[in-house]
Amino acid sequence: MSSQELGCHFFRRIFRLSRITSPPLVHNKGLAVLPRCCCCQTSRQMSSQSNRDYEVNPEFVNRNPRNLESMGLARKTTGWTYQYPRKDYYNKLIFEITNRNTAGYIEHSNGKRIISASTSEWPIRQHLYSCTDVIAAQSIGRILAHRCHQAGLSQVFCDYDERSLSQKFKVFIQAMKDGDIELSEPKVIKAGIEPGIDYDNPKGNRYAEKKRWKDDVQVIS
């Protein structure tokens, strides 16, 4: 109930009590009439006005920290060439099975878990016969996919070989795909000019810097 409705309700209760101890406030041909609340009149006047005089700000600032990642403009942590596990991702899909529970979560490149779903949660566990079977893995995949859409994620990184996966993992991956989650992230859009020193070049020229011609002549004065 809004503040205006609360005000009107409070005014009507005062008016009913006033009829018992005092005559009606307003009379119309011998009948008591409830006065109109001023707050209701103000709201109706505001709603009846047009919004043609309002101007929309042409500049929009998106404060979503995941915006650059979704467009592929944010830089990825590349790491070393043969580093394991890989670090060149924004959000990574991880699936875990223990002796008692089944869990799946999304891990950001900074190491934090941003979205998770596990059979240790009672709302999920109470509907399962077992917390470690194939049905549990499929349910966790569906719930995690739904939570990813609620958080605004539709693409995640999956660093697993499907040929060497177990049946539970395959069911979990298929549930994520059925939930319209793409298991690949957009490629990073690199700038045409990379600032810095090119150490592979023995001359040590900087990127996007024109070579300067120098005469290889020794001047003797």
Check pLDDT > 60 for residue 10.
no
The whole-number average pLDDT for the span 67-76 is: 82
pLDDT tens for 102-156 read 999 999 988 899 999 999 999 999 999 999 999 999 999 999 999 999 988 889 9
Cα 169–Cα 175–Cα 180 angle in degrees, nearest 5: 135
> Which residue has better confidence, 220 or 53?
53
Overall pTM > 0.75: no
Q: Which of the residue ranges 24-28, 101-105, 207-211 has the most confident prediction, judged by mean pLDDT? A: 101-105
Q: Is the C-alpha dihedral spanning 70, 71, 77, 83 positive or negative?
A: positive
Other residues' Cβ atoms within 10 Å of the Cβ of residue 191:
9
pLDDT tens for 153-189 read 889 998 887 667 889 999 999 999 999 999 988 888 8
Contact yes or no for 183/169 (Cβ under 8 A): no
Cα 103–Cα 109–Cα 110 angle in degrees, nearest 5: 100
Check pLDDT > 90 for residue 86.
no
Q: What local confidence, expressed as pLDDT, does residue 88 receive?
A: 85
Rounded to 5 degrees, φ, ψ at 143 are -65, -40
Domains present along the chain, CATH in parentheses: 3-43 (no CATH), 79-213 (3.30.420.80)
